[in-house]
Amino acid sequence: MLKEGDKAPDFDLPTDTGRVSLAALKGRTVVLFFYPKDDTPGCTTEAIGFSRAKADVEAAGATLVGVSKDTVKKHGKFREKHGLTVELGSDADSDVIERYGAWVEKTLYGRQYMGIDRSTWLIDGEGVIRRIWRKVRVPGHVEEVLAAVRNP
């Protein structure tokens, strides 16, 4: 299980605009957020919130990257429908999601299943995990992440 202070696992994922990788972002702080599914209420609210905060996050020297198992095509439709400006990486085979420990057992109405833990990772310019938020509740989360980016 990864923890703060550990080296972040590298990632290189397709997006609807190309590719996004941790190696290409070396030297920049990265806010990496995992979310369950495009175009669902909580995920849409979170992605819109991060998109609204994008200019402030970038002004603080960080880059936003969202990741789910949805396809590149679905990400493109999701971004277009909601005017999203954050990069959305497609991890269809769950490789990156699993390496970050965001593929977890969940329970809904007594039924257990595997799914993505809504979580956010703050990674410094050297690739070290500085902060982890797990089991994220969307209200107030973007503001909390922005505060952490501004004051590492």
pLDDT surpasses 80 at 152: no
Catalytic residue flag (residue 43): yes
Residue of 13, 20, 31, 43 marked active site: 43
DSSP secondary-structure letter at 127?
Answer: S
Nearest Cα to Cα of residue 13 among 85, 68, 78, 57? 68
What digits encode the pLDDT tens for the residues 92-130? 999 999 999 999 999 889 999 999 999 999 999 999 999
User: Residue 77 CA to chain centroid, in angstroms?
Assistant: 18
User: Which two three-digit tokens encode residue 59?
Assistant: 């002004």
Q: What is the CATH topology of the domain spanning 12-150?
A: Glutaredoxin (3.40.30)
Radius of gyration for the chain, computed over Cα atoms and rounded to the nearest angstrom: 14
Query: 75, 88 in Cβ contact below 8 A?
Result: yes
Rounded Cα–Cα distance for residues 113 and 4 (Å): 27
**pTM for the full predicted model:** 0.94
